Amino acid sequence: MNEKEIKILNNLAKKIKSKRLLLNLSQESLAIKCGLDRTYISLIERSKRNPSYLSLIKICDGLEVEIKELIG
């Protein structure tokens, strides 16, 4: 994983976390809405994981946003 990729994941992480906080959701409640694991949400928000396309979509659903808002 090179510098550019790390930056991309950092950017995604920040957006997910800020959207989650806007909704006043805990990592756990977001995880439940997404159908993903809480520890996994934690990893993503710290740029430790490169989520799959389908996982990204689940997270968008949980955050009630369009994918475009997370990756634009």
Q: Using CB under 8 A as the criterion, which residues of the chain lie in contact with its own copies when the complex forms?
A: 1, 5, 8-9, 12, 50-54, 56-57, 67-68, 71-72
Residue (26 or 66) nearer to its own copies, CB: 66
- Which residues 6+ apart lie within 8 Å of 69 measured at CB? 15, 19, 60
Tokens matching residue 60: 């968008």
The rounded distance, in Å, linking the Cα atoms of 59 and 63 is: 6
The rounded distance, in Å, linking the Cα atoms of 11 and 24 is: 20
**At closest approach, how far in Å is the CB of 30 from DNA?**
8
Residue (32 or 57) nearer to its own copies, CB: 57
Residue (1 or 24) nearer to its own copies, CB: 1
